[in-house]
Amino acid sequence: MHVNPEERSLPSAAPTTAPTSRKRFVIPGLRWWIVALLFGAAVLNYVDRQTLSALAPTIQSDLGMDDRDYANVVNIFLIAYTIAYLISGRITDRLGTRAGMVLFVAWWSIANMITAGAQGMRSMSICRFTLGLGEAGVWPAASKAVSEWFPARQRALAIGFYTMGATIGATLAPYIVIPLATYPYAEKIPFVTSIFSHGTGWRVAFVVTGAAGLVWLIPWLLLYRQPRGNRFLGAKELQLIEEMSPEDAAKEAGSPWSWGQVFKFKGTWLLLLGRLITDPVWYFYQFWFAKYLSSDRHLDQEQLKITWVVYAAAGVGSLLGGWLSGRLVSRGMAPVRSRMWVMLGCACLMPVSPFISQATGLDFSMTLAACAVIASLAWLINISSLVVDIVPKHSLGTVFSVVATGSTIGGIVMNMIVATMVTGPSTKAAGFLDQAVKFIFGGLLEQVQGHGYGQWFLVMAFLHPVAWLLLWLGRIHKPSSLIHQTIHP
C-alpha cells in the first residue's frame, strides 16, 4: 500500500492534541496563512499565464507571428494544460501536498522565465507547452491542501478565497507586465539591454514574473507541513482541523484508489460532466466578453476598462459561494447537500443571461453580467468543494485532476462554438484541433454559424440548470453510496 511521504512518520492513532515535548512558536490561525499562500500561488499562476496575452501585439511583432500563429500557441498551452490535469493530481497524491506544490510552482516559474529566450513561433510554443504542464498542478494540490487543513464547514470558503486569487491575477497582469515591458532599459539600465538585446522589455517581463514564483517557494517550504507535524500549529486549532463526522471517517477508510477505481467512481464522471457543461460560461467572460462589448456595444479600447466589473464580480462570487455553503454546514446541514442548495440558487440566477445582450443600456447590461458571473463563480467554488467532500484525502488529487479536465475540454469546445457563431465559416485551413472539434460538433456548428453573440447568451441560460439536474439525478448528494460502490463493486 502506498503511503504519503508526508505521513510516513506519523502514528496511526495519534492523540488529538499537538506534541508538547519542546517549546514551539505558534502562529494563530495558521490554516488561514496556508490558504493565503494558496491565494498567492493562484495570483502568480494567472499573472504568468496572462503575460503572453497582455504583451501579444509586441511579441507578435518582434517574433514575426501572425494571429493564426498566436492562436496555435494558445491552443498548445491548453493541450498541455489538459494533459497535465490528468497526471498532476496523481503526482500530488504520491509526493504529498508540500512537495507537489513545490514541483508545480518551480516548474511553471522556470518555464515562464525561459520564455524570455523564445526566438519564434516554434520556440514560443515549446515554452508555453512547458508552462501548461506546470500550471495545471496548482489546483489539485490546492484542493488537497484545503482537505488537510480545513474542517468541512470552512472548506468552500477556503477554496473560494484562493480561487479569487486567479481573478485578481488576471486583473493585475496587464498592470504588472506592460510597465515592465515598456520601461526604457536602454536609457536607464543599459546592461540589461546588452543581455537581452532585441525585445528586451517583454523578455524582462517573463523573467521577473517567473522569478516571483521561486520567491513564493520560501514561505511555502517554511510553513507547510501536515497539521499534526507542523511546529507552528497550536493544539486548539489542530482539534478544529481534525473535527470529523462519521461520514468523513467512513470516507477516509481504505488505501489510495487505483486508476481503475477512480474511473469506476460514478462521482468522477458526474463532476467531470458538471464542469464540462458549466465552466464554459466563465471561460466566455474571460476570453470573449470584451470582444462582445467592442463589436456589439461599440466600446473602444479605453472604454473596455469597464471589464474590471467582471473580475470584481468573480471575486465576490468566489467568496460568497463559499461563505453561503459554509453557513449551511454550520447550521447542521450535510456539506454535500449545502453545496447542492447553493448551486441550485446559482442555477436559478443564470436565466438572466439572454437579457445581457437584449438590454438597451450598457449599465443595465453590465449589472446583469455581474449577476451571472457571481452565480457562475459561486457554482464553481461549490462544485470544486464537492470533490473535496466526497473523495478520500488519499485519492483527492487524482480525482480532482480527472474532473478538472472537463473544464479545459469545455473551454476548447466553447471557443470553437462562439467563434463560429460570431464570425461564420473560416476562410483558412483548419488546424488539427479545429478539425477534431468539427468532427464531433460539425452539425451543431453549421446550425449556429453566423448568428452572433445573442445565441450564446441564450445557451448560457440553460447550462447550469441542466448540470444541476444531472448531478441530482446522479445522486451526487448521496456520497456514501457512491463510495461504497467504488470500494465494493
User: Which pLDDT value is given to residue 424?
Assistant: 59
Give Cα 336 to chain centroid, integer Å: 21
User: Which pLDDT value is given to residue 15?
Assistant: 44
pLDDT at 19 over 80: no
Q: Domain 252-489: give its CATH code.
A: 1.20.1250.20
pLDDT above 70 covers a percentage of the chain that reads 84
| pLDDT classification of 485: cutoffs 50, 70, 90 | low
Class of domain 28-150+161-243: mainly alpha
CATH 1.20.1250.20 in the chain is located at 28-150+161-243, 252-489
SS in 3 state form for 358-376? HCCCHHHHHHHHHHHHHHH
Specify which of 51-55, 73-77, 374-378 reaches the highest per-range mean pLDDT. 374-378
Q: How many CB atoms lie within 10 A of CB 126?
A: 16
pLDDT above 90 covers a percentage of the chain that reads 38
User: Which pLDDT value is given to residue 251?
Assistant: 58
User: Which pLDDT value is given to residue 447?
Assistant: 67
Q: How far apart are CA 130 and CA 1, in angstroms?
A: 32
pLDDT digits (tens, 9 = 90+) for 253-286: 667 888 888 888 999 999 999 999 999 999 888 7
pLDDT digits (tens, 9 = 90+) for 336-369: 999 999 999 999 999 999 999 999 899 999 999 9
| pLDDT classification of 487: cutoffs 50, 70, 90 | very low
Q: How far apart are CA 100 and CA 104, in angstroms?
A: 6
| pLDDT classification of 247: cutoffs 50, 70, 90 | low
pLDDT at 484 over 80: no
CB 406 within 8 A of CB 85: no
User: Which pLDDT value is given to residue 429?
Assistant: 55
Q: What is the CA radius of gyration of the chain?
A: 23
* Lowest model confidence (mean pLDDT) among 149-163, 184-198, 201-215, 430-444: 430-444
